[in-house]
Every structure is written in structure tokens, then in C-alpha cells.
Chains A and B, each alone.
Chain A
Amino acid sequence: MRTQYGTRLAEALESCRPVPPDKPNILKTLLAVQAGLGYVPTSDLPQIAQVLGVTDAQVAGVLSYYSDLRTQPSSRHLIRVCRGESCTANHGLRVLLAIQDHVCVAVGGSTQAERFTVEQMSCAGNCAVSPTVIVDDEMYGRVVPSQVAALLERYE
């Protein structure tokens, strides 16, 4: 398990190793690490910094700045509820509450057995088919609270 993790990290870092004259790109590297591992473990910061030839602090600064970079693994399924204006106008909050009730966890939290993590997101750009809920890579539009149970049933 640990070796597989190490390989994936090494692969991600290798793909972003700066080739002169290109300069090291911290954000691109962190996104590659996240694509490989599902998150960016803070314990690996020194290794990332070393490959890029930058300081640990520079990497930590970028990691903490961007909300879509995560330092914890999420559950098997990530539920994101859009908090954009069109979703707000179309009662997206009611959908969020229904989801929280259904899976018994608040925003930012993960359910028992790591089935779901619930998050809010900034506008998903699906405003004409709002309110919007995204589970993993699947986007759902015009969601009403009564659909929530059936919608989440599909994700084990």
C-alpha cells in the first residue's frame, strides 16, 4: 500500500519536475499530486519542495490558498452543493439541508464508514438548471429536497 502511494507521488512529481528554461510551478505540481493521491498530504511537503527547488513555506502557502486543494482524503463519495446566486434564489439551501439530514453530517464533515463528504462549492456554472448538486463527477440539476434520498442511494 505504502509503496503504491510512494510510486504515485513520485510519478506525479516527476511529471512536474521543472525543465529549464521553464520555472517550477507549485500549483500545477500540487494539482498533479492531488490527481494521483486524491489529496495532498502535508507530510510530503518537504519532498515536493525539494523536487521543485523551492522552500517548504512556498509550497505550504500555495496549498493553503486554494480551496480545491485538499490536505485530507475525502470519503468514497464527495457531495458538493452549489452556493451560487441562482441556486440560492431557487432554494438550494433547502436541498443542502435535506442532504445534511439524510446523511447526518454537516458541511465539511464526513459520514460514518467514510461514505460521503459534504461540501459547499462556489458557482458551478449550471445556473439555468439550478439548484445544482454534484456527486463525484456527476452533476444534477433542478434538484428538489424530495429527490435527495433516491439520488444518493446510487452511491454506495
Chain B
Amino acid sequence: MVRLYLANDTSSRAAGAGRLADAWSERPEIQLIRTSSRGAFFLEPMVERDMLNGREAWFNVSPNDLPRIVAGVGGTPVAEIPFLQQQTRFTFANFGITEPLAIDEYQTGGGLKGLAAAQGLSPEAIVEELRLSRLRGRGGAAFPVWKKWQVAQQARAEQKYVVANADEGDAGTYCDRMIMEGDPFRLIEGMLICARAIGATRGFIYCRYEYPAAAQTMRFAIQKAREADLLDCDDDPFDLEVVVGAGSYVCGEETALLESLEGRRGVVLAKPPYPAESGLYGKPTVVSNVLTFATIPNILANGGAWHASLGTEGSCGTMALQLGGRVKQPGLVEVPFGLTLRDVLDRFGGGMIPGSRFKAVQVGGPLGSLFPESQLDMPICYDAFAKAGAILGHGGIVVYDDQTDMVELARHFMAFTADESCGKCTPCRVGSVRGREILERIQRGQGTAEDLILLADLGETMKATSLCALGGRAPYPVLTAMEHFPDEFRNKLSAFSRQQ
């Protein structure tokens, strides 16, 4: 009997992995092992098997390919797939190899070493290790993780909380979903280390409604971790629970997330107080992104200095970039910070889908700036992006081709913000609606040159006065579209206005 490995994550199934599993369910000659996905989604459904020199893979498999695979004909050694070979996988090292819910496989792959190391350290020493690591939050705000933990650690309270932000709403991002579906114990381990560092006995994973498989995998993983006696904080039981949201983008903002976790409308609150001082039910709470927690086990296992040695000076470690849009090879790319956008798009993205030409790339989700061809030499790190007024966000990279209508795209972004604004602050609540209206007027051919000035002015006001990043960042894709593709906006103005 031949053992075959087939990914079982949502995207692999959407690409056809589920149909393969159904078609082959009664075949006696094979045993199908369902693993996480390697993240090379352009090759999915991908089937692997053990050969003399390690795993070999068959790409874009259809049910009729089974005889070929069983005969061992036509496979490619996984180690020779350029998309994977050129990556530096730490957080995603297990992907495609292990079964997500097999805790023994997680351990064989180096899992739980970080937790063991943390258990040998004082809470202060854990935070010190994080300070040395120079890890910054991966959710988008890039705040130094150790500072958050230190505030929560020093706060005096009878109850503290650890909350994983799994409300991965940025369009173009999917690495948190992959972690929860593919390596759930890594998230749990990261949260347990945090719990020990700050003295928390309860944790929540706030998972978005759109990720049912991730929520279910996490629930199973928590159950398994509990059975393995892993869920404790300094000999007190650590209670960990998955809570599902209900489709609100702004709940990815930490104060809105905590409001939602308490069951209320997910409305943003003014800071301070910061959640680390006064968060869930008014108690000290560390809220961090799933990818941030998943990065922590390796830091504790290998030391903060190890992490600080990767990447660039201000951006240490690796980043999980998520390629999507019109590139030939969309998928997950974990690399140290510092590569340029062009490197990533060429080496990993493999260039454009045949027949389409590059127009712009958006980095950092629906609040991220658009970059034209001329800016592709920008290094991927927090400092370079901040200097250019852009954000790396959660690492989503979406490539648009020359068929993209930039005015429609700008309208799409403003409409998105108008839909998702929590309504707490006026610049975002009203500004996004007015912005959408102006862009709709331009689309109808009724816009004037003043409308473009008004839109730019509105964007600056929203940037300067919004309460959170939704209103504050929403103008960026719109303004960068206007900056880099001014003709498209001008050509849509009313005939009268164009003559002037």
C-alpha cells in the first residue's frame, strides 16, 4: 500500500483536494494522509509520497493521475520546487509535512520546545527574551511585542487574559487561516508562553465567521492539548476557548475585538487605556495576532538573539507574505525581511499570468497603498514602508493587471470602508460615504476637477482625524491610485470639466 499525502486546508480543498479524496476513497492500493498545505497553492491539488530521496510531488492532480502516482512516475522532488526551495521557513516549517492535529508530529518537528524553555524561565526573563528578539506584532500595527507583555505582566489584577486576534479580515491575507488549520498547536504554544509571562489563566481565540474550518480545527486542537495536560499556566489550569465573530472587519482592531468578545457591537474605543492595562472585562489583556503568537515558540526555543539576527535592523525575523491576484504563482512565502517587492513578485510570484500585464500591486490589505512598476524596488520591511507612507500590514500582496479600472478600484475601497466603518468617529463614518459618492459621480462622468481636489482633501482629513486605522488608512489606496494613475481619473471627469 502506498502512502500518499494530500493537503486538507480550505484553499487546497477549493482547488480540488476534496474531489481527489472522494474519488480515491475506495482505492485499496493507497493510504491517504491529510496534511496541512505547503502554501504553493498554484500547484494544488498537489499529491506527495515518500521516495528514496525524500518526498516527491505531483502537481495539479486530477483523479485519473492515480496510476501514475502509484507507479512513482513523473514526480518532482519537493526539495527542488523553486517556490519552496527559496523560502526560509521557520513558522511554516511543518506545512505540508505534518497532520495538523497530530500532537506527536508537532513535537517531532520541534514543537513544544519553546514552551519547555519558557517554563524554565521567570516571567521577566521571557519578556527579556522577547525584547532581545525585537519581534513586532504581525497583525499590522507592528508594535514591539515585549512592551505589550511587560505592561500586562506588571499590572496587578486577579484575572488576566490572552487573546489571539484571528479576525483575519484584510483581503489578500490567509496566513492566520493556514496556521489555525495547518499547525494549530503552534498558536496554542505561543499563547501558553504568553500566559506564563503575564500570569493569565484564561485565553480566547477570536476567529472570524468566514473561517469555519479554522475554528473547528482549533477546537479539536485545544481538546487534544487539554488531554495531553498542556493547558496550564504555572500549575494553574489555563482555560482556552474559540469564539467566533459575525462578519465585521473592524473587529480586527483590538478594542473593537474585545467589545465583540464581550458580546457587544464591535465598536472601536479611544486609547488609552490600552488593553494591556485594561482590556477584556476591564482586566489586563494581551491581544496579538495569530501569526505573532505562532512566531513566539521558535523565539523561546532558539533564543531572542537568533530571531534578531534574521531580517533587517528595524524588522527582525521572517515575514509570511501572501501572494494573490494576477501572479502566476500565488501562495504563501515566508522569507526574512529585506527582499524587494520586485524580488518577491519575480522569484516567487513567477511573473504575471500569461496574457496580462502588470499595472499595480497593493501591499497590506484594503488599507494598503498601491505601488506602480516604478516603486517595485522598495525593500519589504517596516521602515521603508513607513517612510513611503505605506504599510506592510499583515503581509497581503495583491497584483492587479492592466485590465483593472483604477477609478472602480478606488470606489471599491471607499465602499468597503463605508460598509465596515463602526460608526464611532465622524471622519470615517461620514467621510467614507462622501468619498464613495464622489467616486461614483466621477464614474458616471459627472465629476469635476474640484471633485478630485475634494477627494484628496477628504482623504487627508480622514488620515489625520480618524480614531483607528480603518478610517485613518482607508484613503491610502484611493490617494495612491490617484497619484499614480491620474489620467484614469481625469479621463472620467465630465466633458465640460476636461475642456477646462
Contacts and interface: CB of A to CB of B under 8 A. Distances in A.
Nearest to A61: B265
A143 to B, nearest CB: 9
Nearest to A124: B210
Contact of B322 (A29, A66, A88, A128): A128
B396 A127 contact: yes
Contacts of B169: 122-123
A91 B42 CA distance: 17
Nearest to A93: B408
A67 B326 contact: no
A89 B246 contact: no
Contact of A142 (B15, B248, B281, B399): B15
B260 A141 contact: no
A98 interface: no
13 contacts: A23-B281, A65-B265, A89-B324, A89-B400, A89-B401, A90-B325, A122-B249, A122-B416, A123-B173, A126-B14, A127-B398, A128-B174, A129-B44
B325 A141 contact: no
Contacts of A29: 263
B412 interface: yes
A127 B171 contact: yes
Interface string B5-16: 000001101110
Interface in A20-37: 23-31
A129 B262 contact: no
A27 B398 contact: no
Q: Which 6 A-B pairs have the closest CB atoms?
A: A68-B247, A86-B324, A141-B14, A25-B263, A127-B324, A66-B246
A137 interface: yes
Interface of B: 10-11, 13-15, 39, 41-42, 44, 168-174, 177, 209-212, 243-249, 260, 262-266, 281, 322-326, 330-332, 362, 365-366, 396, 398-401, 403-404, 409, 412, 416, 419-420
B172 A62 contact: no
A127 B263 contact: no
A69 B246 contact: yes
Contacts of A27: 245-246, 260, 263-264
A56 B129 CA distance: 49
A156 B203 CA distance: 42
Nearest to A88: B412
A140 B14 contact: yes
A121 interface: yes
A130 interface: yes
B398 A89 contact: yes
B265 A129 contact: no
Nearest to B208: A125
A5 B330 CA distance: 46
Contact of B263 (A62, A67, A125, A126): A62
B425 to A, nearest CB: 16
A85 B370 CA distance: 12
A65 B396 contact: no
Residue from the set B39, B324, B326, B409 with the largest chain A CB neighbour count within 10 Å: B324
* Interface size band for A: 35 or more
Contacts of B170: 123
A88 B324 CA distance: 11
Nearest to B41: A128
Given A27-B260, A85-B324, 14 more contacts: A25-B263, A26-B264, A27-B264, A83-B412, A85-B366, A86-B398, A89-B326, A90-B325, A123-B169, A126-B174, A127-B330, A128-B330, A129-B11, A139-B14
Contacts of A65: 248, 265-266
A126 B11 contact: yes
A125 B210 CA distance: 8
A139 B325 contact: no
A89 B13 contact: no
Scoring B174, B260, B281 by chain A CB atoms within 10 A of each residue's CB, the highest score goes to B174
Contacts of B399: 89
Nearest to A68: B247
A76 B381 CA distance: 47
Nearest to A137: B212
A132 interface: yes
Interface in A30-57: 30-31
A84 to B, nearest CB: 4
Contact of A89 (B168, B260, B266, B404): B404
A125 B246 contact: no
A141 to B, nearest CB: 3
A127 B323 CA distance: 8
A150 B369 CA distance: 38
Interface in A70-105: 83-86, 88-91
Contacts of B396: 85, 127
A129 B11 CA distance: 6
Contacts of B260: 27
A125 B10 contact: yes
A37 to B, nearest CB: 15
A122 B167 CA distance: 12
A141 B264 contact: no
A66 B172 CA distance: 22
Nearest to A24: B263
Nearest to A18: B263
A88 B212 CA distance: 23
Contacts of A58: 264
A61 to B, nearest CB: 6
Contacts of B262: 23, 25
A62 B244 CA distance: 14
A85 B326 contact: no
B322 A127 contact: yes
A125 B332 CA distance: 12
B209 to A, nearest CB: 5
A126 B10 contact: yes
A89 B399 CA distance: 7
Interface string A100-140: 00000000000000000000011111111110100001011
